[in-house]
Amino acid sequence: MPEFFNVILDFMTQFSGGRGGIDHNVVQFGLAAILWGTLLTYARARRKEDNPERERLLIFAFSFGLVRELFMLGMAFILALGLVEHQLLHVVFPPLEHSLQYAAIFAVAGAFLQFLRRDIKLARRYLLGSFLSLAVCYAATFWWWGSYIYANPSSRFGQTWCDWLFHGTATFWLLIALFFAWRGRQCSSRPLVLSALGCFFFAVFLKIPDMAFAELYEHIYTPISHGAYLLGIFLLVAVYLREQAREGKRAKQQIMQLAYYDTLSGLPNRSLFYDRLQQALALADRSHNRFALLFLDLDNFKAINDTYGHACGDQLLKAVANRLRGCLRMGDTLARLGGDEFIILLPDILGTNAVVTVADKILQQMQKEFQLDLTQLFTSASIGIAFYPENGKDAEELMKHADVAMYAAKEQGRSRYHLFSNEMHRRIVERHRIADELRVALQNEDFVLHYQPQVDIVSEKIVGAEALVRWKHPQKGLIMPGNFIEIAEETGQIQQLGEWIFKTACKQLKIWLNQGLDDFKLAINLSAHRLEHSDFLSKVEKILLLNNINPQQIELELTESGMLRDTEKALELLNHLKLRGFALAMDDFGTGYSSLSYLKRYPFDQVKIDKSFIKGINQNNDDTVLVKTILSMAQHLKLTVVAEGVETYEQLAYLRELGCDRAQGFYFSRPVPPDEFAESLFASQFNSELSSA
Ligand SMILES: Nc1nc2c(ncn2[C@@H]2O[C@H](COP(=O)(O)O[C@H]3[C@@H](O)[C@H](n4cnc5c(=O)[nH]c(N)nc54)O[C@@H]3COP(=O)(O)O)[C@@H](O)[C@H]2O)c(=O)[nH]1
């Protein structure tokens, strides 16, 4: 091998003019300079936008190698042309050569190592260490330069071990070994320490003052070291190119990961799931097999997020993903669609029972305690199941139907599964029909507002009213809001409908105010979906201005489930509305999940106890206890309480006894058209004026 390099060098020397022409060293250094230059050009060309620092580091290291070779080339020319006295150059030249040579290799190797580890900071420190070593090496070499007689092999006789130690090359490797050992505390550098120590002993060994070794030195060490040096550069180029290729592959993998996998759970995301579903559809069509889709949603995730924080919520989602994985077989696909929604594809199912068994297993697993970092949590899930081909002909329809079935499971009390049915399909079609008809109704403004009084429990005087919308259907007559509000919310039509309701209620209030009404608040239901619309506030302001209404005469009623949608944004908007002067009421209180926390957090003035609790008051112990608790809590928070759905005198009397402030219900009046309401309203005012006179 050494001979091989010598042959090449000799050939090149001959080729370029022989010893009489260009010196052996000139060829060698020139060749190395070309290699470093190529490497440098390549690194500059591959410079990347995303990590310029890493590339800069490599360019710096390669430049270092190039400078070293140019320096050596210059020296070789000076020697070859006989410009400087030979003896003098040989005192300075060899230590410089060795030091620079190893420093260059070390700089590049260090940079490469850290480049591979992607630790730019450490790589920079390696380079610094290399330069420091180089500086010490120079100092040591020049200190000993008087006795340094490298140029004359025979003069090696008589040198002490100490000389070898301070000889540039040996010292350099020793310092490198020490440096690696020191750095080893922060990174695993044992192989580097060992190889540097090996080089140190090699360097010392080769300087053993013996003629035979001197011969060896000339004929074996020099070609080996030069050959190894060139080979090293080739290797570095190869490693660099391989790393570039790997980098490309890694980047591609990363892009794939981001595009098709959920970052939190590591599960396939919606796109990948959709792709797998398409494949399953094609396969099922070909083999005439059935498959099932399970749509899973956690039952109380929003409340967990709000109570324990998002970090805890994230941990729970990861744990749920792991538990779900454990319930499935190899061929099944589990994906996270977003939030707390997961979807499962069970291919090649034998029968409905097999799917029900899996659903049961999942429900059981979900009910078990989740041990998170800082807390233990309990949750549950609702699952909707749709089958192919019975419940949908394509991916969209199947996913939608599994989702609908999941909502049915929630409606039936959560922590259960529900199979998609024809009845559900019928309901979906019906909803579509209603949505279409609503569109026409909104264009024609086919709606009316009815008003139901709110009465002061002690004086029994009307102190306010709730505006309730009805749809004047051309064929079906009056349709109650329970049949269309939810659909309007789902389709976004609630924005237009809500605006119409607010505008009509304000117009009506203005009429009553102009007729001499005072000390009266009109309650208007506000769908939480409306809060999400960016121009909600500006539209409200415009209507107030147009009708010259003081917001203090309006109460906005929001439901708890509405608050669950986007708590932060809702809080901000409600604070704004409150500052503007609106009164705020929490509607249907007691039917949501975290009533207490919402009452404390949001700027409500009034709580409306849901009619379902008033119905059982004084008969059902649970309802009575609940109403009493709400009343005492509201008193504590200084909130007015309205009891909804008061239908009998007994209910009213009992609520009065408990200290409830206001009541609303059929006992006083059903919701009635504005004219009818005005009659009872002004009669109530007239009566109270009479009684106070
Ligand atoms: N976003 C909007 N939602 C609205 C609007 N108008 C109504 N709604 C919501 O629709 C739900 C059903 O309303 P409705 O059919 O009008 O029923 C109201 C009353 O008729 C009924 N009520 C009143 N007193 C009694 C009673 O003594 N017994 C009894 N069984 N029912 C009674 O309660 C409904 C009023 O409830 P609430 O709003 O919770 O005070 C209803 O939930 C409305 O929220 C609208 O304009 N926008």
Same domain, 274 and 231: no
Task: Take atom 21 of ligand 1 and give the residue whose Cα is closest.
Answer: 645
Task: Take atom 42 of ligand 1 and give the residue whose Cα is closest.
Answer: 482
Pocket probe mutation, ligand 1, options 472, 485, 531, max atoms within 8 Å of Cβ: 485
**Helical packing angle, 168-183 and 190-205, nearest 10°:** 160
User: Stretch 641-645: mean pLDDT, rounded?
Assistant: 96
Q: What is the DSSP string of 44-93?
A: HHT--SS-HHHHHHHHHHHHHHHHHHHHHHHHHHHHHHT-S-HHHHHHHH
Taking the alpha carbons of 474, 480, 486, 488 in that order, is the dihedral positive or negative?
positive
Specify if 657 maps to a domain: no
Specify if 276 maps to a domain: yes
Task: Take atom 16 of ligand 1 and give the residue whose Cα is closest.
Answer: 468
The predicted structure's pLDDT at residue 473: 96
What is the pTM for the complete model shown?
A: 0.56
Tell me the β-bridge partners of 473.
Answer: 477
CB 596 within 8 A of CB 569: no
CB 660 within 8 A of CB 457: yes
Q: CATH code at 520? A: 3.20.20.450
Same domain, 247 and 276: no
Task: Take atom 25 of ligand 1 and give the residue whose Cα is closest.
Answer: 645
Query: What ligand 1 atom has the least distance to the C-alpha of 646?
Result: 27
Same domain, 279 and 247: no
Cα(249) to centroid(ligand 1), Å: 61
Q: CATH code at 323? A: 3.30.70.270
Same domain, 484 and 565: yes
- Using the structure block, give the residue that is written with the tokens 């922060």: 186
Specify if 504 maps to a domain: yes
Specify if 151 maps to a domain: yes
Cα(613) to centroid(ligand 1), Å: 15
Ligand 1 pocket residues where CB is under 6 Å: 452, 466, 468-469, 480-482, 485, 501, 525, 527, 587-588, 608, 611, 644-647, 664-666, 671
User: Stretch 46-63: mean pLDDT, rounded?
Assistant: 64
**Out of 519-533, 563-577, 588-602, 624-638, least confident range:** 588-602
Q: CATH code at 116? A: 1.20.1070
Cα gap 437→290, rounded to integer Å: 36
Same domain, 211 and 295: no
Task: Take atom 28 of ligand 1 and give the residue whose Cα is closest.
Answer: 645
- Using the structure block, give the residue that is written with the tokens 């203005």: 510
Q: Is 332 a residue whose pLDDT tops 60?
A: yes
Specify if 69 maps to a domain: yes
Cα gap 145→138, rounded to integer Å: 10
Contacts of 179 (CB under 8 A, 6+ apart): 129, 133
Contacts of 201 (CB under 8 A, 6+ apart): none
Angstrom distances, CA of residue 682 to CA of 337, 356, 419? 56, 61, 54
Task: Take atom 12 of ligand 1 and give the residue whose Cα is closest.
Answer: 482
Name the token pair of 403. 């989702």
**Out of 237-246, 509-518, 579-588, least confident range:** 237-246
Cα(468) to centroid(ligand 1), Å: 6
Cα(469) to centroid(ligand 1), Å: 9
Cα gap 600→602, rounded to integer Å: 6
Q: Is 50 a residue whose pLDDT tops 80?
A: no
DSSP state of 416: S
Same domain, 242 and 348: no
Same domain, 333 and 389: yes
CB 26 within 8 A of CB 56: no
Cα gap 582→462, rounded to integer Å: 19
**Is pLDDT larger for residue 132 or for residue 626?**
626
Cα gap 616→23, rounded to integer Å: 110
Cα(293) to centroid(ligand 1), Å: 37
pLDDT by residue (tens digit) across 297-316? Answer: 999 898 898 889 999 999 99
Cα gap 234→39, rounded to integer Å: 10
Same domain, 414 and 457: no
With DSSP H G I counted as helix, E B as strand and the rest as coil, what are the percentages for the chain, rounded to 5?
65, 15, 25
Task: Take atom 2 of ligand 1 and give the residue whose Cα is closest.
Answer: 525
Cα(72) to centroid(ligand 1), Å: 93
CB 374 within 8 A of CB 309: no
pLDDT by residue (tens digit) across 489-531? Answer: 989 999 999 999 999 999 999 999 999 888 899 999 999 888 8
Pocket probe mutation, ligand 1, options 525, 586, 588, max atoms within 8 Å of Cβ: 525
Same domain, 316 and 224: no
Specify if 631 maps to a domain: no
Cα(560) to centroid(ligand 1), Å: 15
Considering only CA atoms, which of 199, 141, 145 is closest in space to residue 168? 141
Specify if 240 maps to a domain: yes
Cα(297) to centroid(ligand 1), Å: 29
Task: Take atom 20 of ligand 1 and give the residue whose Cα is closest.
Answer: 671
Same domain, 508 and 562: yes
Helix (H, G, I), strand (E, B) or coil at 185: coil
Query: What ligand 1 atom has the least distance to the C-alpha of 557?
Result: 38
Q: Is 439 a residue whose pLDDT tops 90?
A: yes
pLDDT by residue (tens digit) across 397-435? Answer: 999 999 999 999 998 889 999 999 988 888 888 989 999
Q: Is 452 a residue whose pLDDT tops 80?
A: yes
User: Stretch 112-131: mean pLDDT, rounded?
Assistant: 65
Task: Take atom 3 of ligand 1 and give the residue whose Cα is closest.
Answer: 525
Please measure the distance between the N-terminal and C-terminal CA atoms of the chain and give it in whole angstroms: 123
Helix (H, G, I), strand (E, B) or coil at 479: strand
**Domain, as residue range, for 547:** 449-609+665-692
Domain count, the chain: 3
DSSP state of 667: T
CB 126 within 8 A of CB 113: yes
The predicted structure's pLDDT at residue 1: 42
**Out of 23-32, 624-633, 662-671, least confident range:** 23-32
Same domain, 305 and 404: yes
Same domain, 126 and 235: yes
Specify if 506 maps to a domain: yes
CA 389 to chain CA mean position, Å: 35
